[in-house]
Homo-oligomer: A and B are copies of this chain.
Amino acid sequence: MLERIRIVLIGTSHPGNIGGTARAMHNMGLSDLALVAPRCEPLTADTVSRASGADHIVHGAHTVETLEQAVGDCTLAVGASARSRTLPWPMITPRALGEQLPAELASPAARVALVFGREDSGLTNAELQRCHAHVHIPTNPDFSSLNLAAAVQVVAYECRQAWLGQQVASGPAEMPAAEPLASHRELEHYFAHLERTLVAIGFHDPATPRQLMARLRRFTLRARPERMELNILRGILTATEQQAERHK
């Protein structure tokens, strides 16, 4: 699915942002980049520095003159927009966009373009009107303009989240093998040992319990102790008892 999502940058001014976009894409498993009429040399030392190992994405990018050429084969084009326009357009959040992608890309022929505009002025109305929908990243209304590569990062992140969600839904979930949890019986042995020890060191008087054991139980159970952890705690109790024992 991810290989059929294309990031399209229009009229980019700063090579560093192209490099940052390439890094964000590769981090999230995207690889298809198109540059429309860039206003800078796409491949500079800045590009390579910000790409930080993902500059092959820039090498493999298609540079074209018009948006049409960049998205012609796409079945869905979504334009990033910071502000609502004079003519309201279907507007979606990055999350809703991500959630829509698996269905959108179900057919092997389907292809999605995510279109990002100029650092200073975004996409023109004409460009936005060539998109099926507009994606708006929710931001602080007092400071709404994201860095270009940061905007790509957020949208690409939502693409990957949606793709991962699909993997989990369809494949056998591979959970990391956790340590075995302590059984109820082991926990009760621990609490009995704990209470004996607290009495031995003079911290606890069962005649005036003041909810002490209840509080310690609640704390311990909340952590869902593993068997190995309980063994450590019991080892500490034994060492503590030996100290108390020596006074008798």
A23 touches B147 (CB 8 A): yes
Interface size class of A (residues with CB under 8 A): 35 or more
State whether A138 touches B164 (Cβ < 8 A).
Answer: yes
How long is the Cα–Cα vector from A164 to B139 in the complex, in angstroms? Answer: 10
**Contact partners of A215 in chain B: CB under 8 A:** 228-229, 232
Copies of this chain, how many? 2
* B residues near A235, Cβ cutoff 8 Å: 203
Kindly identify, within residues 1 to 42 of chain A, every residue whose CB is under 8 Å from any CB belonging to chain B: 20, 23-24, 26-29
User: Does any Cβ of B come within 8 Å of A47's Cβ?
Assistant: no
Give Cα A64–Cα B222 distance, bound, in whole angstroms: 34
Which among A71-79, A106-114, A123-131, A236-244 touches the partner chain?
A236-244
Q: Are A236 and B153 in contact (CB under 8 A)?
A: no
Q: Which residue of B lies closest to A143 (CB)?
A: B26
Bound CA–CA A201/B233 (angstroms) = 13
**Contact across chains for A147 and B20 when beta carbons are under 8 A apart:** yes
A-B contact pairs, 30 of them (CB 8 A): A23-B150, A27-B143, A27-B144, A27-B145, A28-B140, A52-B147, A84-B176, A88-B176, A88-B178, A95-B161, A138-B160, A138-B164, A147-B149, A149-B150, A150-B150, A150-B153, A153-B154, A154-B157, A201-B236, A201-B239, A201-B242, A203-B235, A203-B236, A212-B232, A219-B223, A219-B226, A219-B229, A220-B223, A223-B223, A243-B244
